[in-house]
Structure 1
Amino acid sequence: MGIHFCSLLAAATLLFAVSGSASAELVVIVSARSPATSLSSDQVAAIFLGQAGRLPDGADVVALDQRIGSSERDQFYRQVAGKTPALLKAHWSKMVFTGRGQPPREALDGSTVRRMVAENPSMIGYVDRSALDGSVRPVLVLR
């Protein structure tokens, strides 16, 4: 039984190490032409959960999500809103059913998010830090 326990412990440790290293450093981005320079995690959560449609300066903002099932999306909502995919689905089901909102539009991947946000100063999205370029500005770094 001791060998079996050690094998399980080793497998669990390896799984934790692999899943921990798979986390990306995500950044919340706006267009380089946007007046926004920084946002708090609570402000970002309110925007992406349909509870706020404006930036602190009063400018309209439109959230853009990564695709359902992507690791970036799951990590983003876990870090910013404390929501698992199931809790997020329940949140949006309630919002849609009560007529209080629609979920953010989805983009295929991080490069699509970056391109769409860069082209539209009223959009906000999130990408892996490695996807940053001069066309977008980070307003929140998630660690």
Structure 2
Amino acid sequence: MNRSIIFALATLSINTHAGMVVVGNSLVDNIDGFSMDEIRSIFSGSMTTLDNGETVYVVELDKNSEEKKLFHSLVTGKSEIELESEWAKQINEGRTKGRVFVTDYKSVLKRVSNNPNSIGYVTTEALENNKQENIIVIQEIENKDSY
């Protein structure tokens, strides 16, 4: 059990120092022009459509992922419970079908690459190691704790 805790802490430590980026599908006009406030709104579920009028397709890591928790602590400042509540509200109002959850960054990149109007987040390392067509970096995420 102690090994599991040490491994989890080491993994979290490594990931907190890896740079993160928000990525989108480059086939969508102006997808790279999002402000940090707009990105925050997209990932918290309050902004559900793009400038082209299409529903945004949000790709996230699994709900219990430490990387997902880190991303949301840096970007939305919301817990999983708060996120679930906001997304449920948007789904009930018919504004979105919700988020798509995947197991790893490679899957995030594949989904974003294959789906126009999609947006996700990955580490810069994952982006460099998993080249995909139609991927554009929308925003770099700064980890204030790494300074």
TM-score range, shorter chain: 0.7 to 0.9
RMSD over equivalenced CA pairs, Å: 2.6
CA deviation after TM superposition for structure 1 residue 38, in Å: 2.9
Cα deviation per residue 1:32-58 (whole Å; 9 max; x = unaligned)?
A: 3232223112111211222222224x3
What residue in structure 2 maps to residue 137 of structure 1? 136
SS of residue paired to 1:47: helix
1:50 aligns with 2:45: yes
Task: In structure 2, list runs of 5 or more residues that go unmatched.
Answer: 1-8, 143-147
SS of residue paired to 1:37: helix
SS of residue paired to 1:130: helix
SS of residue paired to 2:32: coil
Following the alignment from structure 2 to structure 1, what is the Cα–Cα distance between the partners of residues 91 and 98? 8
Task: In structure 1, list runs of 5 or more residues that go unmatched.
Answer: 1-15
CA deviation after TM superposition for structure 1 residue 99, in Å: 6.4
Equivalent pair of 1:50/1:102 in contact (CA under 8 Å): no
Following the alignment from structure 2 to structure 1, what is the Cα–Cα distance between the partners of residues 39 and 113? 18
1:69 aligns with 2:85: no
Cα deviation per residue 1:54-110 (whole Å; 9 max; x = unaligned)?
A: 224x34221111111112211111111111233323434555567665531111211
1:29 aligns with 2:28: no
Which one-letter code corresponds to 2:23 in the other structure?
I
Is the deviation greater in 33-42 or in 85-94?
Answer: 85-94
Equivalent pair of 1:72/1:128 in contact (CA under 8 Å): no
| TM norm structure 2 | 0.70
Equivalent pair of 1:34/1:122 in contact (CA under 8 Å): yes
Following the alignment from structure 1 to structure 2, what is the Cα–Cα distance between the partners of residues 113 and 38? 20
- Percent identity between matched residues is 26
